[in-house]
Amino acid sequence: TPSPYFADPHITMSETPLGKAVPKPPSPEEHARRKAHNERGCGQALAGRLLKACLDRGIYPRVLCAGRELIIENGEVVGVHMETPKGPVEVRARKGVILASGGFEHDKDLVRAFTRGPMTHPVSIETSTGDGLRMAMKAGAMLSNMREAWWIPTGVVPPEANRMGKVLVNGQRTLPHSIMVNKRGRRFTNEAANYNAFGAAFHVENVSKFEYENLPCWLIFDQQYVDTYGFRISAGGNGSVVPDWIPRGETPQELAAKLGVDGEELVRTIARWNDNVAEGHDPDFGRGDSAFDCWWGDPYRKGRRDATLGTLERGPYYAFEIKSGCLGTKGGPRVDPNACVLNVDGDPIPGLYAAGNVMGSPFGMTYGGPGGTLGPAMVFGFIAGRHAAGRNTPGA
């Protein structure tokens, strides 16, 4: 049966409430049938249906083409210059240009210039390099929300464990018998908090040492964790054997020495954590206090604090380094209610629209939850298309 901790492309959203637990999985026979016929659910089904709608209308996507510069005539956007495998191409637009090229998380220069702190390991598609953002900036667009992203803790794994070499560290960090510590061996946040909140935790600055207080950091877990939940950090992993590339030690001090972490401080941190677990409460960061925390963690203890609270007391002790990552950036050109891109004076740039992660997100620094990019992208995309279709332009 599908793991309750990892997405399965052959499971529908109704079978995967909120993208986590699977209380109503299909029968093994039905799951095998879907897999054999490559029947997809959730986001892949949505993308497929939208693509089919385009193809049914004679609209064919041009792949391996990069937009480089907008064509502007008399102050109006009338097309785009593209780079294609066959060379430069100029495409004219009768009604306008809609930017929907994703964020800029894979452009290190843009990330360094705009985001509020380190973001070294994005897990989005690697073509999110800010092409649309650069075109909008050249056209004089006003920018908004540039310091923010859809933050998430990530980790690096060997290619044989995951072909991307990167994984999300999401449900794994919420399970009992685990904590997260910084290079001083101290906890620094509620490990069961929503993943977007980790951006703020990662970006705490030590103004005396001119460094980020909580990077690098590690997920620390013990043999209880492995025996109860298996090793779930590599893609789809749920076995009881922890791979050799994971650092370990028979004691917290031995593990700390391998990580370069203060061993005495790590021992104190674990001792305090165990005392708090025994009391059934985390007074330091409130882990397990909220319904959200108790929904995460052990699915068989849902709604209880011990769904996420559990001691670390049985070696070996293991560590997995956590990186500051994101699912995408959320800054870009500011748009009005018609999805029209605004210039630096706050006026619409005629013929230019934006939708999705390329635009300044209406969510600001917040995150409604998994899939929170999809609703605004579809809504603003629809609004942009409708508004563009209604424009009175010569020759349209």
The helix-helix angle for 263-279 and 252-259 (nearest 10°) equals 130
Cα gap 121→327, rounded to integer Å: 9
Tens digits of per-residue pLDDT, 316-363? 999 999 999 999 999 999 999 999 999 999 999 999 999 999 999 999
pLDDT value of residue 235: 44
pLDDT value of residue 17: 53
Q: Are residues 228 and 314 in the same domain?
A: yes
Q: Are residues 91 and 216 in the same domain?
A: no
| Residue range of the domain that includes 279 | 155-326
pLDDT value of residue 74: 95
Task: Among 326, 348, 366, give the residue marking a domain's end.
Answer: 326
Q: Is residue 8 part of a domain?
A: no
Residue 134: give its domain's CATH number: 3.50.50.60
Residue 171, φ and ψ in degrees, nearest 5:
-60, -30
CA nearest to 76, candidates 29, 129, 19, 140: 140
pLDDT value of residue 355: 98
Q: Are residues 317 and 373 in the same domain?
A: no
pLDDT value of residue 395: 57
CA nearest to 199, candidates 355, 19, 329, 358: 329
pTM of the entire structure? 0.88
pLDDT value of residue 7: 56
Task: Give the chain's residues under pLDDT 70.
Answer: 1-8, 13, 16-25, 42, 233-240, 395-396
Q: How far is CA 193 from CA 129, 150, 274, in A?
A: 29, 14, 19
Q: Are residues 118 and 17 in the same domain?
A: no
Tens digits of per-residue pLDDT, 80-108? 999 999 999 999 999 999 999 999 999 99
Q: Are residues 120 and 241 in the same domain?
A: no
